Protein backbone atom coordinates (compact mmCIF):
# COMPACT_ATOMS: atom_id res chain seq x y z
CA UNK A 1 0.00 0.00 0.00
CA UNK A 2 1.52 3.26 -1.18
CA UNK A 3 -1.52 5.53 -1.50
CA UNK A 4 -4.45 5.65 0.92
CA UNK A 5 -7.55 7.78 0.36
CA UNK A 6 -9.56 8.54 3.49
CA UNK A 7 -13.13 9.66 2.80
CA UNK A 8 -14.25 11.30 6.02
CA UNK A 9 -11.52 12.99 8.05
CA UNK A 10 -13.35 13.21 11.37
CA UNK A 11 -12.33 11.38 14.54
CA UNK A 12 -12.02 7.87 13.08
CA UNK A 13 -10.63 8.83 9.67
CA UNK A 14 -8.07 11.29 11.05
CA UNK A 15 -7.09 8.90 13.85
CA UNK A 16 -6.49 6.17 11.27
CA UNK A 17 -4.19 8.47 9.32
CA UNK A 18 -2.28 9.45 12.46
CA UNK A 19 -2.07 5.84 13.65
CA UNK A 20 -0.73 4.55 10.33
CA UNK A 21 1.95 7.23 10.21
CA UNK A 22 2.95 6.48 13.80
CA UNK A 23 3.18 2.77 12.89
CA UNK A 24 5.60 3.47 10.03
CA UNK A 25 3.42 4.01 6.97
CA UNK A 26 5.45 6.18 4.58
CA UNK A 27 3.06 6.34 1.64
CA UNK A 28 0.72 9.16 0.69
CA UNK A 29 -2.51 9.76 2.58
CA UNK A 30 -5.12 11.79 0.70
CA UNK A 31 -8.20 13.03 2.50
CA UNK A 32 -11.67 14.25 1.62
CA UNK A 33 -14.43 15.49 3.88
CA UNK A 34 -17.71 17.22 3.12
CA UNK A 35 -16.80 19.60 5.94
CA UNK A 36 -14.03 21.91 4.81
CA UNK A 37 -13.19 22.63 8.44
CA UNK A 38 -12.64 18.95 9.32
CA UNK A 39 -10.51 18.55 6.21
CA UNK A 40 -8.29 21.50 7.10
CA UNK A 41 -7.86 20.36 10.70
CA UNK A 42 -6.87 16.86 9.54
CA UNK A 43 -4.33 18.41 7.14
CA UNK A 44 -2.93 20.73 9.81
CA UNK A 45 -2.53 17.87 12.28
CA UNK A 46 -0.72 15.69 9.76
CA UNK A 47 -3.38 12.99 9.57
CA UNK A 48 -3.43 13.45 5.78
CA UNK A 49 -0.82 14.69 3.33
CA UNK A 50 -3.10 15.96 0.57
CA UNK A 51 -6.59 17.45 0.85
CA UNK A 52 -9.08 17.19 -2.00
CA UNK A 53 -12.00 19.56 -1.66
CA UNK A 54 -14.77 18.18 -3.86
CA UNK A 55 -16.44 14.84 -4.39
CA UNK A 56 -15.31 14.77 -8.03
CA UNK A 57 -11.71 15.36 -6.93
CA UNK A 58 -12.10 12.57 -4.37
CA UNK A 59 -13.31 10.20 -7.08
CA UNK A 60 -10.29 11.12 -9.19
CA UNK A 61 -8.04 10.41 -6.21
CA UNK A 62 -9.82 7.08 -5.68
CA UNK A 63 -8.82 5.96 -9.17
CA UNK A 64 -5.16 6.24 -8.16
CA UNK A 65 -5.38 4.97 -4.58
CA UNK A 66 -4.38 1.49 -3.49
CA UNK A 67 -6.86 1.55 -0.59
CA UNK A 68 -9.95 3.73 -0.06
CA UNK A 69 -11.16 3.97 3.54
CA UNK A 70 -14.77 5.13 3.93
CA UNK A 71 -14.87 6.69 7.40
CA UNK A 72 -18.28 8.32 7.12
CA UNK A 73 -21.77 7.46 8.46
CA UNK A 74 -23.42 4.30 7.14
CA UNK A 75 -25.80 5.87 4.63
CA UNK A 76 -22.92 7.86 3.15
CA UNK A 77 -20.87 4.65 2.93
CA UNK A 78 -23.66 3.08 0.90
CA UNK A 79 -23.61 6.09 -1.45
CA UNK A 80 -19.84 5.87 -1.88
CA UNK A 81 -20.03 2.15 -2.64
CA UNK A 82 -22.29 2.95 -5.58
CA UNK A 83 -19.97 5.72 -6.74
CA UNK A 84 -16.75 3.71 -6.46
CA UNK A 85 -17.83 0.30 -7.73
CA UNK A 86 -17.95 1.23 -11.45
CA UNK A 87 -14.71 3.28 -11.57
CA UNK A 88 -12.09 1.22 -9.72
CA UNK A 89 -9.47 -1.08 -11.19
CA UNK A 90 -8.44 -4.64 -10.36
CA UNK A 91 -6.33 -4.84 -7.22
CA UNK A 92 -7.80 -1.78 -5.54
CA UNK A 93 -9.34 -2.23 -2.11
CA UNK A 94 -12.24 -0.38 -0.51
CA UNK A 95 -12.91 -0.78 3.20
CA UNK A 96 -14.99 1.10 5.73
CA UNK A 97 -15.57 1.89 9.40
CA UNK A 98 -19.37 1.72 9.47
CA UNK A 99 -21.19 0.85 12.70
CA UNK A 100 -23.55 -1.58 10.96
CA UNK A 101 -22.46 -4.16 8.43
CA UNK A 102 -25.30 -6.21 6.89
CA UNK A 103 -26.52 -3.57 4.43
CA UNK A 104 -22.96 -2.51 3.59
CA UNK A 105 -21.88 -6.09 2.90
CA UNK A 106 -24.98 -6.68 0.78
CA UNK A 107 -24.44 -3.52 -1.28
CA UNK A 108 -20.74 -4.26 -1.77
CA UNK A 109 -21.45 -7.83 -2.89
CA UNK A 110 -23.48 -6.48 -5.81
CA UNK A 111 -20.69 -4.26 -7.17
CA UNK A 112 -17.48 -5.92 -6.03
CA UNK A 113 -18.22 -9.35 -7.40
CA UNK A 114 -15.26 -10.80 -9.30
CA UNK A 115 -11.90 -12.02 -7.99
CA UNK A 116 -10.20 -10.13 -10.81
CA UNK A 117 -11.79 -6.77 -10.00
CA UNK A 118 -11.54 -4.30 -7.10
CA UNK A 119 -12.40 -5.66 -3.67
CA UNK A 120 -14.44 -4.53 -0.68
CA UNK A 121 -13.63 -5.52 2.91
CA UNK A 122 -16.28 -4.35 5.39
CA UNK A 123 -14.78 -3.20 8.69
CA UNK A 124 -15.69 -1.59 11.99
CA UNK A 125 -13.22 -0.35 14.62
CA UNK A 126 -14.63 -0.59 18.13
CA UNK A 127 -13.14 2.70 19.20
CA UNK A 128 -14.29 6.26 19.46
CA UNK A 129 -15.38 9.05 21.77
CA UNK A 130 -18.69 10.61 22.69
CA UNK A 131 -17.92 13.53 20.38
CA UNK A 132 -16.17 13.61 17.02
CA UNK A 133 -13.88 15.66 14.86
CA UNK A 134 -10.31 15.68 13.64
CA UNK A 135 -9.30 18.05 16.44
CA UNK A 136 -9.55 15.22 19.00
CA UNK A 137 -8.11 12.47 16.76
CA UNK A 138 -5.38 10.35 18.33
CA UNK A 139 -2.74 8.03 16.92
CA UNK A 140 -3.35 5.73 19.90
CA UNK A 141 -7.14 5.54 19.53
CA UNK A 142 -7.14 1.95 18.25
CA UNK A 143 -4.56 0.45 20.62
CA UNK A 144 -6.06 -2.64 22.28
CA UNK A 145 -9.37 -1.99 20.52
CA UNK A 146 -11.08 -4.64 18.39
CA UNK A 147 -11.21 -3.93 14.65
CA UNK A 148 -13.99 -6.12 13.28
CA UNK A 149 -14.08 -7.34 9.70
CA UNK A 150 -17.03 -9.04 8.01
CA UNK A 151 -15.45 -10.52 4.85
CA UNK A 152 -17.79 -11.31 1.98
CA UNK A 153 -15.42 -13.88 0.42
CA UNK A 154 -13.88 -16.99 1.92
CA UNK A 155 -10.40 -16.22 0.57
CA UNK A 156 -8.68 -12.93 1.34
CA UNK A 157 -6.74 -11.08 -1.34
CA UNK A 158 -3.18 -9.88 -0.83
CA UNK A 159 -4.51 -6.32 -0.48
CA UNK A 160 -6.98 -7.36 2.20
CA UNK A 161 -4.29 -9.22 4.12
CA UNK A 162 -2.02 -6.18 3.97
CA UNK A 163 -4.74 -3.85 5.30
CA UNK A 164 -5.52 -6.25 8.13
CA UNK A 165 -1.81 -6.38 8.92
CA UNK A 166 -1.70 -2.59 9.18
CA UNK A 167 -4.59 -2.69 11.63
CA UNK A 168 -2.58 -4.94 13.92
CA UNK A 169 0.43 -2.62 13.54
CA UNK A 170 -1.62 0.31 14.84
CA UNK A 171 -2.46 -1.77 17.91
CA UNK A 172 -5.92 -3.14 17.06
CA UNK A 173 -7.06 -6.72 17.57
CA UNK A 174 -8.57 -8.12 14.37
CA UNK A 175 -11.77 -10.17 14.67
CA UNK A 176 -13.90 -11.67 11.87
CA UNK A 177 -17.68 -11.88 12.20
CA UNK A 178 -20.61 -12.64 9.94
CA UNK A 179 -22.32 -9.33 9.01
CA UNK A 180 -25.65 -10.30 10.58
CA UNK A 181 -24.01 -11.52 13.77
CA UNK A 182 -22.03 -8.27 13.90
CA UNK A 183 -25.25 -6.25 13.76
CA UNK A 184 -27.00 -8.43 16.35
CA UNK A 185 -24.10 -8.13 18.80
CA UNK A 186 -23.55 -4.42 18.20
CA UNK A 187 -27.21 -3.73 18.91
CA UNK A 188 -26.53 -4.94 22.46
CA UNK A 189 -22.98 -3.77 23.18
CA UNK A 190 -23.01 -0.39 21.43
CA UNK A 191 -26.33 0.76 20.00
CA UNK A 192 -28.48 -0.07 23.05
CA UNK A 193 -26.13 1.72 25.52
CA UNK A 194 -26.22 4.78 23.26
CA UNK A 195 -30.01 4.84 23.18
CA UNK A 196 -30.22 4.33 26.96
CA UNK A 197 -27.87 7.25 27.56
CA UNK A 198 -29.73 9.41 25.05
CA UNK A 199 -33.11 8.62 26.63
CA UNK A 200 -31.85 9.25 30.16
CA UNK A 201 -30.15 12.51 29.19
CA UNK A 202 -33.25 13.74 27.36
CA UNK A 203 -35.47 12.73 30.29
CA UNK A 204 -33.26 14.59 32.75
CA UNK A 205 -33.28 17.65 30.51
CA UNK A 206 -37.08 17.59 30.29
CA UNK A 207 -37.54 16.97 34.01
CA UNK A 208 -34.86 19.15 35.55
CA UNK A 209 -33.52 21.45 32.82
CA UNK A 210 -31.11 23.92 34.46
CA UNK A 211 -31.76 22.72 38.01
CA UNK A 212 -28.53 23.68 39.78
CA UNK A 213 -29.16 21.32 42.69
CA UNK A 214 -29.31 18.28 40.39
CA UNK A 215 -26.09 19.25 38.68
CA UNK A 216 -24.41 19.98 42.00
CA UNK A 217 -25.14 16.58 43.52
CA UNK A 218 -24.80 14.55 40.32
CA UNK A 219 -21.62 12.51 40.64
CA UNK A 220 -19.77 9.81 38.77
CA UNK A 221 -22.85 7.68 38.15
CA UNK A 222 -24.65 10.54 36.45
CA UNK A 223 -21.59 11.48 34.39
CA UNK A 224 -21.03 7.91 33.22
CA UNK A 225 -24.67 7.23 32.41
CA UNK A 226 -25.10 10.45 30.41
CA UNK A 227 -21.70 10.61 28.71
CA UNK A 228 -22.92 8.98 25.51
CA UNK A 229 -25.85 11.38 25.43
CA UNK A 230 -23.44 13.91 23.90
CA UNK A 231 -23.04 11.80 20.76
CA UNK A 232 -24.21 13.37 17.47
CA UNK A 233 -27.55 12.44 15.95
CA UNK A 234 -26.04 12.44 12.46
CA UNK A 235 -24.16 9.19 13.13
CA UNK A 236 -26.80 7.41 15.20
CA UNK A 237 -29.59 8.19 12.74
CA UNK A 238 -27.84 5.96 10.23
CA UNK A 239 -27.34 3.20 12.80
CA UNK A 240 -31.03 3.27 13.71
CA UNK A 241 -32.06 3.18 10.05
CA UNK A 242 -29.75 0.30 9.07
CA UNK A 243 -29.99 -1.88 12.18
CA UNK A 244 -33.60 -1.23 13.10
CA UNK A 245 -34.86 -4.69 14.08
CA UNK A 246 -31.91 -5.84 16.24
CA UNK A 247 -31.88 -2.47 18.00
CA UNK A 248 -35.66 -2.44 18.49
CA UNK A 249 -35.51 -6.00 19.86
CA UNK A 250 -32.83 -5.06 22.40
CA UNK A 251 -34.78 -1.95 23.45
CA UNK A 252 -37.93 -4.03 23.96
CA UNK A 253 -36.00 -6.56 26.06
CA UNK A 254 -34.64 -3.75 28.21
CA UNK A 255 -38.10 -2.20 28.58
CA UNK A 256 -39.37 -5.55 29.86
CA UNK A 257 -36.45 -5.89 32.25
CA UNK A 258 -37.00 -2.39 33.62
CA UNK A 259 -40.66 -3.19 34.13
CA UNK A 260 -39.60 -6.32 36.04
CA UNK A 261 -37.38 -4.17 38.28
CA UNK A 262 -40.12 -1.61 38.83
CA UNK A 263 -42.58 -4.31 39.86
CA UNK A 264 -40.10 -5.93 42.27
CA UNK A 265 -38.53 -3.00 44.12
CA UNK A 266 -39.78 -4.44 47.44
CA UNK A 267 -39.38 -8.19 46.76
CA UNK A 268 -36.45 -10.67 46.84
CA UNK A 269 -36.43 -10.57 43.03
CA UNK A 270 -34.50 -7.31 43.23
CA UNK A 271 -31.67 -9.12 45.02
CA UNK A 272 -31.61 -11.74 42.28
CA UNK A 273 -31.30 -9.06 39.61
CA UNK A 274 -28.32 -7.54 41.42
CA UNK A 275 -26.69 -10.98 41.72
CA UNK A 276 -27.05 -11.56 37.97
CA UNK A 277 -25.77 -8.07 37.21
CA UNK A 278 -22.73 -8.53 39.46
CA UNK A 279 -21.91 -11.81 37.72
CA UNK A 280 -21.74 -10.22 34.26
CA UNK A 281 -18.50 -8.34 35.07
CA UNK A 282 -16.81 -11.34 36.70
CA UNK A 283 -13.88 -13.02 34.84
CA UNK A 284 -14.99 -15.95 32.67
- Mark whether 34 and 108 lie in a shared domain: yes
**Residue 202 has what DSSP assignment?**
H
- Mark whether 40 and 133 lie in a shared domain: yes
For 192-230, the pLDDT digits (tens) are: 999 999 999 999 999 999 999 999 999 999 999 999 999
The structural domain count of the chain equals: 2
> Contact, 171 vs 140, CB < 8 A?
yes
**Mean pLDDT, the chain, integer:** 96
Exposed/middle/buried for 53, CB within 10 Å: 0-12, 13-18, 19+?
middle
- Mark whether 61 and 164 lie in a shared domain: yes
Domain of 79, in residue numbers: 3-177
Of 146, 177, 208, which residue is a domain's last?
177
- Mark whether 198 and 275 lie in a shared domain: yes
Of 131, 146, 177, which residue is a domain's last?
177
**CATH number of the domain residue 268 falls in:** 1.10.3660.10
**CATH number of the domain residue 149 falls in:** 3.40.50.720
- Mark whether 164 and 199 lie in a shared domain: no
Of 144, 177, 210, which residue is a domain's last?
177
**In Å, what is the CA distance from 86 to each residue of 63, 111, 117?**
11, 7, 10
For 23-36, the pLDDT digits (tens) are: 999 999 999 999 99
Task: State the pLDDT at residue 131.
Answer: 85
For 93-148, the pLDDT digits (tens) are: 999 999 999 999 999 999 997 888 999 999 999 999 888 999 999 999 999 999 99
Amino acid sequence: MNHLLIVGTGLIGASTGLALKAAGFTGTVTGFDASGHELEVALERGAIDIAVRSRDAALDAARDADVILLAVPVLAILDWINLLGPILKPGQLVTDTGSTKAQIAEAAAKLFTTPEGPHFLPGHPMAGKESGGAAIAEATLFQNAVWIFTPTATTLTAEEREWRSWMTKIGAKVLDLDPSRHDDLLAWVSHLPQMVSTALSALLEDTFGDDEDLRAIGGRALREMTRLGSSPYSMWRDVAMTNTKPLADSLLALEQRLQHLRENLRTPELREEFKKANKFREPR
